[in-house]
């Protein structure tokens, strides 16, 4: 009988808010943190370009089951557009595709940004991870393939100019929903202004509940002496689930739920869950909690909790 291969590392669970430096891919960041924490399993909650710095949420162990919530969360960016040249990647890494002597005034940039707030249609950059007939768009773009990406709806909650240190650069702060590309905004904004421009610097300052205040750099992680010390920097599994209303379990119900069984909820737990629900939410989603933390995601119906995704922490 063949033996099952034992997974290397420790069963580490939780989230790390990594302050990713530039010139590091998201995959490299995950690999580094997995090694430093000696974790069996890790993944990220939303890709950050190599030329971008800032918040990269990294999930360990059972927290990987909540990665989609991090990917779908609101995000904040602070970025600088350099005017005068456009590139094929819409950032400073690409080849120059056009030049222009035109430079927009700060007031013109601020006014043009108004058209990008709300639910808008955005065509992703050609150099992106979007799949086209099974291939990544950036691979097709590098090979010189002729293809078109379709526009898709994205939400921009706010966009404002925060600085214009000189005529060649404008710094902008954006709060967006999922699927939004800063490089595409720079491309479209430059077009509307009759200018050429590309992203010079980009920093992601927030992903949902993950902020720079609690973030840690790879250098700070490496400076800690042991994997166990580094594990102390982890945030709880439920950090990515801030928008999911919690429901309190009765003592002793957690083992049953982890076996996939439905349990009856106490009346006060039902009342609290209803009070915590967002008024716009029509679903029955809930996060089952006990004194030790998150137990499962599931649905509340007829005074009962039915688990759909359990956490074996």
Cβ within 8 Å of residue 161, ≥6 positions away? 106, 109, 110, 113, 170, 171, 172
If DSSP codes are grouped into helix, strand and coil, which group holds residue 31?
helix
Residue 208's closest CA among 6, 304, 68, 20?
Answer: 68
| Catalytic residue IDs | 49
Provide DSSP, 216-256: B-HHHHHHSSSHHHHHTTPBPGGGGGTTSPEEEPPTT-HHH
**Quick one: which H or E segment has residue 61?**
none
CA distances from 97 to 46, 47, 149, 307 (A): 29, 26, 19, 53
Side-chain-side CA neighbours of 73 within 13 Å: the count stands at 28
Q: Locate the DSSP E strands across the chain.
A: 14-20, 42-44, 52-60, 75-83, 85-87, 96-99, 118-122, 131-132, 135-136, 152-166, 169-176, 197-207, 210-211, 246-248, 263-264, 285-290, 293-301, 304-310
Tokens for 34?
């997995």
Other Cβ atoms closer than 10 A to 252: 9
> CB burial class (10 A; 0-12, 13-18, 19+) of residue 153?
exposed
């Amino acid at each position: 009988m063949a033996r099952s291969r034992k997974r290397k590392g420790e069963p580490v669970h939780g989230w790390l808010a990594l302050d990713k430096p530039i010139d590091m891919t998201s995959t490299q960041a995950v690999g580094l943190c997995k090694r430093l924490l000696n974790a069996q399993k890790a993944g990220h909650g939303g890709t950050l370009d190599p030329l971008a710095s800032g918040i990269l949420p990294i999930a360990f162990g059972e927290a990987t089951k909540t990665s989609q919530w991090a990917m779908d969360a609101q995000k904040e960016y602070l970025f600088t557009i350099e005017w005068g040249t456009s590139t094929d990647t819409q950032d400073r890494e690409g080849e120059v595709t056009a030049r222009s002597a035109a430079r927009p005034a700060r007031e013109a940039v601020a006014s043009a940004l108004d058209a990008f707030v709300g639910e808008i249609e955005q065509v992703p950059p050609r150099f992106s991870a979007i799949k086209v007939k099974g291939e990544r768009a950036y691979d097709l773009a590098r090979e010189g393939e002729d293809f078109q990406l379709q526009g898709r709806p994205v939400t921009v909650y706010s966009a404002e100019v925060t600085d214009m240190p000189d005529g060649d650069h404008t710094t902008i702060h954006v709060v967006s929903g999922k699927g939004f590309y800063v490089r595409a905004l720079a491309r479209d904004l430059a077009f509307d202004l009759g200018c050429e421009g590309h992203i010079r610097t980009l920093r992601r300052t927030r992903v949902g509940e993950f902020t720079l205040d609690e973030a840690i750099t790879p250098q700070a992680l490496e400076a800690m002496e042991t994997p166990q010390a580094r594990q102390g920097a982890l945030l709880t599994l439920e950090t990515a689930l801030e928008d999911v209303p919690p429901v309190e379990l009765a003592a002793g119900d957690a083992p049953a739920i982890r076996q996939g069984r439905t349990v009856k909820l106490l009346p006060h737990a039902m009342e609290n869950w209803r009070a915590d629900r967002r008024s716009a939410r029509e679903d029955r989603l809930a996060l089952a909690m006990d004194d030790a933390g998150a137990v499962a995601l599931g649905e509340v119906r007829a005074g009962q909790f039915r688990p759909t995704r359990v956490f074996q922490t």
